Amino acid sequence: MRLTIKTNIAMRTLMCCAVNPGAALRKADIAATCNASENHLAQVISLLGNAGFLKTLRGRNGGVTLGRPAEEINVGEVFRTLEQSVPFIECFDAERNACPIAGCCRLKMALANALNAFYDSLDVLTLADLVTDNCQLEAVLSMPEAFTATCRTPNASPDHRAQPTPPAAGL
Protein backbone atom coordinates (compact mmCIF):
# COMPACT_ATOMS: atom_id res chain seq x y z
CA MET A 1 0.00 0.00 0.00
CA ARG A 2 1.20 3.48 -0.78
CA LEU A 3 -0.36 6.82 0.10
CA THR A 4 -0.60 9.65 -2.37
CA ILE A 5 1.72 12.64 -2.11
CA LYS A 6 -1.39 14.71 -1.35
CA THR A 7 -2.12 12.80 1.84
CA ASN A 8 1.52 12.86 2.91
CA ILE A 9 1.74 16.65 2.44
CA ALA A 10 -1.66 17.12 4.08
CA MET A 11 -0.58 15.38 7.26
CA ARG A 12 2.69 17.34 7.40
CA THR A 13 0.74 20.58 6.90
CA LEU A 14 -1.79 19.76 9.60
CA MET A 15 0.96 18.79 12.04
CA CYS A 16 2.83 22.01 11.21
CA CYS A 17 -0.27 24.07 11.97
CA ALA A 18 -0.90 22.08 15.16
CA VAL A 19 2.58 22.72 16.58
CA ASN A 20 2.21 26.43 15.78
CA PRO A 21 -1.18 27.09 17.38
CA GLY A 22 -2.76 30.46 16.78
CA ALA A 23 -0.22 31.45 14.13
CA ALA A 24 -1.29 32.12 10.55
CA LEU A 25 1.37 30.19 8.65
CA ARG A 26 2.41 31.25 5.16
CA LYS A 27 2.34 28.68 2.38
CA ALA A 28 6.00 29.33 1.53
CA ASP A 29 7.06 28.71 5.14
CA ILE A 30 5.08 25.49 5.37
CA ALA A 31 6.49 24.29 2.05
CA ALA A 32 10.07 24.95 3.17
CA THR A 33 9.56 23.40 6.61
CA CYS A 34 7.71 20.35 5.30
CA ASN A 35 9.91 19.83 2.23
CA ALA A 36 7.00 20.14 -0.18
CA SER A 37 6.54 22.02 -3.42
CA GLU A 38 4.41 25.15 -3.15
CA ASN A 39 2.29 23.97 -6.09
CA HIS A 40 1.41 20.67 -4.40
CA LEU A 41 0.91 22.46 -1.11
CA ALA A 42 -1.51 24.97 -2.66
CA GLN A 43 -3.68 22.11 -3.93
CA VAL A 44 -3.56 20.36 -0.55
CA ILE A 45 -4.40 23.56 1.35
CA SER A 46 -7.40 24.05 -0.92
CA LEU A 47 -8.63 20.49 -0.28
CA LEU A 48 -8.05 20.75 3.47
CA GLY A 49 -9.77 24.13 3.56
CA ASN A 50 -12.80 22.87 1.64
CA ALA A 51 -13.09 19.95 4.06
CA GLY A 52 -12.87 22.26 7.10
CA PHE A 53 -9.53 20.96 8.38
CA LEU A 54 -7.81 24.30 7.64
CA LYS A 55 -8.90 27.90 7.70
CA THR A 56 -7.29 30.19 5.14
CA LEU A 57 -6.81 33.89 5.80
CA ARG A 58 -6.07 36.30 2.96
CA GLY A 59 -4.15 39.52 3.09
CA ARG A 60 -0.94 40.84 4.53
CA ASN A 61 -1.28 38.93 7.81
CA GLY A 62 -2.87 35.96 6.10
CA GLY A 63 -1.93 32.33 6.08
CA VAL A 64 -3.41 29.06 7.21
CA THR A 65 -4.46 27.81 10.63
CA LEU A 66 -6.29 24.74 11.81
CA GLY A 67 -9.97 24.88 10.98
CA ARG A 68 -10.86 23.18 14.24
CA PRO A 69 -8.99 22.06 17.35
CA ALA A 70 -6.39 19.33 16.81
CA GLU A 71 -8.38 17.11 19.18
CA GLU A 72 -11.28 17.24 16.71
CA ILE A 73 -9.31 16.37 13.57
CA ASN A 74 -9.54 12.63 13.05
CA VAL A 75 -6.64 11.13 11.09
CA GLY A 76 -8.85 8.49 9.44
CA GLU A 77 -11.22 11.22 8.24
CA VAL A 78 -8.31 13.18 6.73
CA PHE A 79 -7.01 10.08 4.92
CA ARG A 80 -10.47 9.17 3.59
CA THR A 81 -11.04 12.73 2.39
CA LEU A 82 -7.79 12.80 0.44
CA GLU A 83 -7.62 9.18 -0.73
CA GLN A 84 -11.28 8.65 -1.69
CA SER A 85 -10.76 9.52 -5.34
CA VAL A 86 -8.02 6.90 -5.74
CA PRO A 87 -9.39 3.34 -5.77
CA PHE A 88 -7.13 0.97 -3.86
CA ILE A 89 -7.45 -1.66 -6.59
CA GLU A 90 -9.11 -1.70 -9.99
CA CYS A 91 -12.08 -3.82 -8.91
CA PHE A 92 -13.02 -1.26 -6.22
CA ASP A 93 -13.84 1.21 -9.02
CA ALA A 94 -17.24 0.19 -10.44
CA GLU A 95 -16.91 2.53 -13.44
CA ARG A 96 -13.43 1.50 -14.59
CA ASN A 97 -13.24 -2.11 -13.47
CA ALA A 98 -12.19 -4.32 -16.35
CA CYS A 99 -11.01 -7.30 -14.30
CA PRO A 100 -12.53 -10.49 -15.73
CA ILE A 101 -12.52 -12.29 -12.36
CA ALA A 102 -13.95 -9.48 -10.20
CA GLY A 103 -17.26 -11.28 -9.70
CA CYS A 104 -15.69 -14.42 -8.24
CA CYS A 105 -12.37 -13.18 -6.82
CA ARG A 106 -11.88 -13.86 -3.12
CA LEU A 107 -8.88 -11.54 -2.98
CA LYS A 108 -11.21 -8.56 -3.45
CA MET A 109 -12.95 -9.25 -0.12
CA ALA A 110 -9.64 -9.83 1.67
CA LEU A 111 -8.32 -6.51 0.37
CA ALA A 112 -11.54 -4.73 1.36
CA ASN A 113 -11.17 -6.14 4.88
CA ALA A 114 -7.51 -5.10 5.04
CA LEU A 115 -8.35 -1.58 3.85
CA ASN A 116 -11.11 -1.31 6.45
CA ALA A 117 -8.66 -2.43 9.17
CA PHE A 118 -6.19 0.21 7.97
CA TYR A 119 -8.76 2.99 8.27
CA ASP A 120 -10.06 1.61 11.57
CA SER A 121 -6.55 1.93 13.01
CA LEU A 122 -6.40 5.57 11.88
CA ASP A 123 -9.91 6.36 13.16
CA VAL A 124 -8.72 6.14 16.77
CA LEU A 125 -6.07 8.84 16.21
CA THR A 126 -6.51 12.58 16.27
CA LEU A 127 -4.08 15.22 15.11
CA ALA A 128 -3.50 16.04 18.78
CA ASP A 129 -2.35 12.45 19.38
CA LEU A 130 0.35 12.94 16.76
CA VAL A 131 1.71 16.25 18.04
CA THR A 132 1.12 16.41 21.80
CA ASP A 133 4.33 15.92 23.80
CA ASN A 134 6.25 15.22 20.58
CA CYS A 135 9.25 17.44 21.21
CA GLN A 136 11.22 16.24 18.19
CA LEU A 137 8.31 17.04 15.87
CA GLU A 138 7.87 20.43 17.50
CA ALA A 139 11.56 21.20 17.02
CA VAL A 140 11.34 20.36 13.31
CA LEU A 141 8.01 22.06 12.52
CA SER A 142 8.01 25.11 14.79
CA MET A 143 8.15 28.39 12.95
CA PRO A 144 10.55 30.82 14.64
CA GLU A 145 8.03 33.67 14.69
CA ALA A 146 5.30 31.38 16.05
CA PHE A 147 7.46 29.34 18.42
CA THR A 148 5.45 28.37 21.50
CA ALA A 149 7.98 25.92 22.90
CA THR A 150 5.84 23.60 24.95
CA CYS A 151 8.80 21.25 24.83
CA ARG A 152 11.58 23.85 24.93
CA THR A 153 14.48 23.01 27.17
CA PRO A 154 16.41 25.77 28.94
CA ASN A 155 18.76 27.61 26.56
CA ALA A 156 17.09 26.16 23.45
CA SER A 157 16.67 28.76 20.76
CA PRO A 158 13.52 29.09 18.64
CA ASP A 159 15.59 28.52 15.51
CA HIS A 160 16.88 25.17 16.76
CA ARG A 161 15.57 22.38 14.56
CA ALA A 162 16.39 18.92 15.80
CA GLN A 163 16.86 16.23 13.21
CA PRO A 164 14.23 13.50 13.60
CA THR A 165 15.44 10.12 14.70
CA PRO A 166 14.85 7.56 11.94
CA PRO A 167 12.51 4.70 12.87
CA ALA A 168 14.06 1.45 14.00
CA ALA A 169 14.58 -1.15 11.30
CA GLY A 170 11.54 -3.25 10.59
CA LEU A 171 8.98 -0.67 11.72
The pair phi, psi for residue 89, each rounded to 5°, is: -145, 155
- Enumerate the β-bridge partners of residue 54: 66
**Helix crossing, 75-83 with 106-123: angle to 10°?**
140
Closest CA to 15 of 166, 144, 160, 132: 132
20 neighbors 146 (Cβ within 8 angstroms): yes
Question: Residue 39 has what pLDDT?
Answer: 94
* pLDDT of 15 higher than 80: yes
133 sits in the region (left: phi over 0; alpha: psi -120 to 50; else beta) called left
48 neighbors 24 (Cβ within 8 angstroms): no
Question: Residue 104 has what pLDDT?
Answer: 85
Is residue 151, in this structure, part of any structural domain at all? no
DSSP track, 57-91: E-STT-EEEESS-GGG-BHHHHHHHHHTTS-SSGG
Is residue 30, in this structure, part of any structural domain at all? yes
Outline where DSSP puts E strands in 20-61: 54-57
- Give residue-wise pLDDT tens across range 114-158: 888 999 999 999 999 999 999 999 999 998 765 455 564 433 444
Closest CA to 141 of 167, 164, 168: 164
CATH number, domain with residue 42: 1.10.10.10
Is residue 62, in this structure, part of any structural domain at all? yes
Question: Residue 10 has what pLDDT?
Answer: 97
Structural domain that includes position 46: 5-87+127-146
Is residue 35, in this structure, part of any structural domain at all? yes
Mean pLDDT, rounded, for 43-58 = 96
Is residue 136, in this structure, part of any structural domain at all? yes
The fraction of the chain above a pLDDT of 70, given in percent, is: 83
Is residue 46, in this structure, part of any structural domain at all? yes
93 falls in which pLDDT band (50, 70, 90)?
Answer: confident
- Enumerate the β-bridge partners of residue 65: 55
DSSP 154: T
Is residue 96, in this structure, part of any structural domain at all? no
Question: Residue 42 has what pLDDT?
Answer: 95
Is residue 50, in this structure, part of any structural domain at all? yes
Could you give the number of structural domains in the chain? 1
64 falls in which pLDDT band (50, 70, 90)?
Answer: very high
The fraction of the chain above a pLDDT of 90, given in percent, is: 56
* pLDDT of 159 higher than 80: no
Mean pLDDT, rounded, for 107-119 = 88
Mean pLDDT, rounded, for 91-100 = 79
Question: Distance between CA 82 and CA 93 in Å, rounded?
Answer: 16
Which position has the higher pLDDT, 22 or 2?
Answer: 22
